[in-house]
């Protein structure tokens, strides 16, 4: 991956005006180009790992009429204190079987250009049924292997509320010593309720894991904390 593209990506996102408040879209022959501060491909972002972890985030997505697509998404541009630049590059193929059922497969490469850490890769696939998405992902992080199943019931929203769930098993490459033994694997999960209200995206998230107390020293999952945590997040896009 070319580092100059990160600068180009950031410049485009900060300078372009959006036709749909969060997504700028342009057709280029058989291709469809999207730029924005909201993930434009929900199975490649937002379900397997958090959609945004910093104040400044955005990405681009290029898709072909045949179903092939590729893009980059930065959940954190590394501009705010305590945040690091992360660039997730992805490619995949998405195709409907009919008007109600479709499938998608792809891979993601996670990189951290300004941090001395190894990159990681992830394979994902799933089905779309009546607007809802169900899938699985397998990733190879520097210190562990992760297997994730997820569901996004966005197509069936009672009272305008979106529901998404995620469950992940983490297998550590090297067991971590804790009081009374060692931990070689653990699981974590999350439940998220989402609703738009007066232009503000509201998310209520509950996350937890099977570790507690001193065993949390072995935790390094996708959730923000090892123990049970309820988070209320409000986000508004300015363009």
Residue 41: per-residue pLDDT: 65
Chain centre to alpha carbon of residue 5? 20
Distance between CA atoms of residues 201 and 232, nearest Å: 11
Distance between CA atoms of residues 147 and 140, nearest Å: 9
Distance between CA atoms of residues 85 and 112, nearest Å: 6
What pTM was computed for the model?
A: 0.73
Side-chain-side CA neighbours of 47 within 13 Å: the count stands at 30
**Is the distance from CB of 184 to CB of 171 less than 8 angstroms?**
yes
Residue 105: per-residue pLDDT: 92
For the chain, counts of helices (H) and of strands (E): 1, 13
Lookup result for tokens 């541009």: 77
Distance between CA atoms of residues 77 and 7, nearest Å: 10
Q: How far is CA 60 from CA 37, 196, 208, in A?
A: 9, 23, 32
DSSP state of 16: P
Per-residue pLDDT of the chain (239 residues; tens, 9 = 90+): 434 344 334 434 433 333 344 667 788 788 888 877 766 665 554 444 554 555 567 788 888 989 899 888 887 766 666 667 888 888 999 888 888 899 989 998 888 887 777 788 889 998 888 878 898 999 888 889 999 998 888 766 667 788 889 899 999 999 998 887 899 999 999 998 988 888 788 889 999 999 988 899 899 887 778 888 898 988 776 55
């Amino acid at each position: 991956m070319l580092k100059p593209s990160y600068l180009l990506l950031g410049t485009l996102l900060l300078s372009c005006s959006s036709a749909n408040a969060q997504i700028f879209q342009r057709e280029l022959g058989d291709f469809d180009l999207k730029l924005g501060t909201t993930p434009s491909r929900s199975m490649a972002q937002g379900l397997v790992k958090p959609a945004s972890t910093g104040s400044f985030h955005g990405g681009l997505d290029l898709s072909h009429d045949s179903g092939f697509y590729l893009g980059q998404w930065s959940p954190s541009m590394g501009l705010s204190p305590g945040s690091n630049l992360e660039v997730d590059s992805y490619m995949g193929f998405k195709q409907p079987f009919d008007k109600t059922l479709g499938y998608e497969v792809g891979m993601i490469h996670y990189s951290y250009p300004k941090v001395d850490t190894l990159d990681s890769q992830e394979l994902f696939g799933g089905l779309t049924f009546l607007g809802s998405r169900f899938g699985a992902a397998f990733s190879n992080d520097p210190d562990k292997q992760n297997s994730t199943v997820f569901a996004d019931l966005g197509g069936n929203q009672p009272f305008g509320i979106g529901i998404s769930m995620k469950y992940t098993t983490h297998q550590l490459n090297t067991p971590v010593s804790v009081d009374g033994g060692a931990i070689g694997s653990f699981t974590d999960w999350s439940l998220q309720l989402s609703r738009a209200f007066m232009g503000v995206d509201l998310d209520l998230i509950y996350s937890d894991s099977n570790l507690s107390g001193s065993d949390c020293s072995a935790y390094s999952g996708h959730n923000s904390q090892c123990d049970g945590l309820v988070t209320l997040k409000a986000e508004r896009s300015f363009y």
